[in-house]
């Protein structure tokens, strides 16, 4: 089941991780553009929060819907449709004339991006070699921050065109999706999914029972399976409350507390993206050796420590830039594992569905963080807001220690839960 052909492995990686790249571009491009959209459309604080969170709301719906359909209909059939949403509604977002059009179009755009999460992460997991699967999974998630960095570069290029520059930046996001969609049209169906449905049964391949392990969608809502799904959903939910709550406001925080110049703020945002990419480069190099548990614990532990330290020290001014760079570098260790871990721990029959449910839970956390953080900063101050998010990260760490199992270098049919889950569900 492991692809040995380098060209095929790279093709599957590129086409799958392209969705994460677009997600990073989309969510980051608006975080800077809001500095201008608020003035142009005279947004109230509530409207600003709605526009910021709109695509995250859509992602929750898209993740559950496309994740379920991916297990039922196959990965390939949905592999281009999800990004078609992105292309159409990214361009329509660029043409928005008022706040409600912008909200609706970005919400629908989010459905496509959210749908891509369970499909792409599942495909990377199912097409990657067991001994280096962690490297491919972390690498695909790292594409999010390459998208973030690219969005800052595009914003910088168009900034000189005037206050409407953000419309060009939004449209570029839609255009970027087109070659990925075209490449996905010719992509092969996942062999593991074909085995799980009984369409192929060849010597040397896992059996249908090994792939499915008797687990159905109903099993995800009860017994050991339900408990595991709940634990992973809560961990990712808590992580995203802190991650997105702060992350989508990096430009605003830098502009408000460090750099009065909007151009300096943009360069600072780019450097934060570089910090995240460095964190991913290190994680890619070591995750298959140190394992998922240590990577996750290190990420969440570092988040907790840095947020508490920043809160107690009341960090502000220019020091915020290196502080955020270090924070985001370690944050990605936790972010990568929380994102792809469900694809390793659940069997093929429900892998994409489980990934969709956990993704939806994470988007709820992200929306909560995005809505709450500005009000927290205004009422509690930046330092106390960091302390609260540090406590949330610590809670995620404690739950992880109690529930996350090691999956490094194991074949998916060995790493994924199955008969044990089924037996416990019957008792």
CATH number of the domain at 353, please. Answer: 1.20.1250.20
Is residue 255 within 8 A of residue 35, CB to CB? The reply is yes
What DSSP character marks residue 273? H
Domain that includes residue 330, residue range? 6-426
pLDDT tens, 220-279?
888 888 899 999 999 999 999 999 888 878 888 898 888 888 889 889 988 998 999 999
Does 285 score more than 90 pLDDT? yes
Helices 320-345 and 223-247, packing angle to 10 deg: 160
Q: Would you state the pLDDT for residue 418?
A: 58
Whether 412 maps to a domain, the answer reads yes
**83 to 27, 36, 86, 407: CA distances (angstroms):** 15, 27, 5, 30
Closest CA to 215 of 202, 205, 204, 224: 224
Residue 380, class by beta-carbon neighbours within 10 Å (0-12 exposed, 13-18 middle, 19+ buried)?
middle
Q: Is the pTM of this model over 0.85?
A: yes
Backbone angles phi, psi at 260, to 5 degrees: -70, -25
Distance of alpha carbon 348 from alpha carbon 122, whole angstroms: 9
**Count of domains for the chain:** 1
Residue 30, class by beta-carbon neighbours within 10 Å (0-12 exposed, 13-18 middle, 19+ buried)?
buried
Whether 1 maps to a domain, the answer reads no
Question: What is the sign of the dihedral through the CA atoms of 148, 153, 158 and 163?
Answer: positive
Q: Would you state the pLDDT for residue 347?
A: 92
Percent of the chain with pLDDT over 90: 52
Distance of alpha carbon 363 from alpha carbon 240, whole angstroms: 7
Neighbour count for residue 293 (Cβ, 10 Å): 17
Whether 299 maps to a domain, the answer reads yes
Distance of alpha carbon 119 from alpha carbon 58, whole angstroms: 16
pLDDT tens, 14-33?
888 888 998 889 888 887 88
Is residue 363 within 8 A of residue 63, CB to CB? The reply is yes
Whether 413 maps to a domain, the answer reads yes
Average pLDDT, the chain: 88
pLDDT tens, 102-156?
999 999 999 998 999 999 999 989 888 889 899 999 999 999 889 988 998 998 8
Closest CA to 287 of 337, 326, 346: 337
Q: Would you state the pLDDT for residue 423?
A: 41
Is residue 5 within 8 A of residue 188, CB to CB? The reply is no
Q: Would you state the pLDDT for residue 152?
A: 86
Neighbour count for residue 43 (Cβ, 10 Å): 18
Q: Would you state the pLDDT for residue 8?
A: 66
Token duo for residue 173: 């996001």
Distance of alpha carbon 87 from alpha carbon 147, whole angstroms: 15
Distance of alpha carbon 190 from alpha carbon 187, whole angstroms: 9
List, in order, residues 6 or more apart from 203 with CB less than 8 Å away: none
Whether 340 maps to a domain, the answer reads yes
Whether 93 maps to a domain, the answer reads yes
Q: What would the mean pLDDT of 377-394 be, rounded to a whole number? A: 92
Is residue 123 within 8 A of residue 79, CB to CB? The reply is yes
Chain position carrying tokens 């192929």? 200
Whether 40 maps to a domain, the answer reads yes
Is residue 173 within 8 A of residue 22, CB to CB? The reply is yes
Distance of alpha carbon 1 from alpha carbon 141, whole angstroms: 22
Residue 168, class by beta-carbon neighbours within 10 Å (0-12 exposed, 13-18 middle, 19+ buried)?
middle
Does 324 score more than 90 pLDDT? yes
Token duo for residue 190: 């996942």
Q: Would you state the pLDDT for residue 427?
A: 38
Q: Would you state the pLDDT for residue 5?
A: 59
């Amino acid at each position: 089941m492991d692809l040995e052909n380098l060209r095929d492995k790279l093709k599957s990686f590129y086409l799958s991780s392209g969705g994460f790249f677009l997600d990073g571009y989309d969510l980051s491009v608006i975080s800077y553009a809001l500095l201008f959209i608020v003035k142009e459309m005279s947004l109230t604080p509530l409207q600003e929060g709605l526009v910021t969170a709109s695509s995250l709301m859509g992602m929750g719906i898209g993740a559950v819907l496309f994740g379920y359909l991916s297990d039922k209909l196959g990965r390939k059939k949905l592999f281009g449709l999800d990004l078609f949403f992105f292309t159409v509604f990214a361009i329509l977002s660029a043409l928005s004339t008022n706040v409600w059009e912008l909200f609706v179009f970005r919400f629908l755009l989010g459905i496509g991006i959210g749908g891509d999460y369970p499909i792409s992460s599942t495909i990377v997991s199912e097409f990657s070699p067991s001994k280096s699967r962690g490297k491919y999974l972390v690498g695909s998630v790292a594409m999010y921050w390459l998208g973030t960095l690219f969005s800052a570069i595009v914003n910088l290029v168009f900034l000189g065109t005037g206050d409407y520059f953000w419309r060009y930046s939004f449209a570029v996001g839609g255009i970027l999706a087109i070659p990925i969609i075209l490449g996905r049209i010719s992509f092969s169906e996942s062999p593991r999914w074909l085995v799980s449905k009984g369409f192929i049964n060849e010597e040397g391949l896992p059996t249908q029972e090994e792939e499915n392990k008797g687990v159905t969608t109903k099993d995800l809502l009860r017994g050991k399976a339900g408990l595991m799904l709940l634990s992973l959903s809560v961990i990712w939910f808590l992580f995203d409350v802190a991650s997105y709550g702060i992350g989508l406001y990096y430009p605003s925080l830098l502009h408000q507390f460090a750099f009065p110049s909007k151009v300096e703020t943009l360069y600072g945002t780019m450097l934060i993206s570089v910090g995240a990419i460095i964190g991913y480069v290190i994680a890619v190099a070591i995750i298959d050796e140190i394992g998922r548990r240590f990577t996750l614990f290190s990420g969440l532990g570092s988040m907790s420590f840095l947020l508490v330290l920043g809160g107690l020290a009341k960090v502000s001014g220019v020091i915020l830039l290196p502080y955020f760079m270090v924070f985001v570098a370690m944050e990605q260790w936790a972010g990568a594992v929380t994102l792809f871990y469900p694809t390793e721990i659940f069997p093929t029959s429900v892998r994409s569905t489980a990934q969709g449910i956990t993704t939806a839970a994470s988007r709820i956390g992200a929306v909560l963080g995005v809505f709450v953080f500005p009000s927290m900063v205004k009422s509690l101050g930046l330092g106390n807001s960091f302390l609260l998010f540090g406590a949330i990260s610590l809670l995620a760490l404690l739950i992880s220690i109690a529930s996350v199992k090691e999956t490094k270098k194991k074949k998916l049919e060995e790493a994924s839960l199955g008969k044990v889950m089924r037996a416990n569900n019957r008792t």
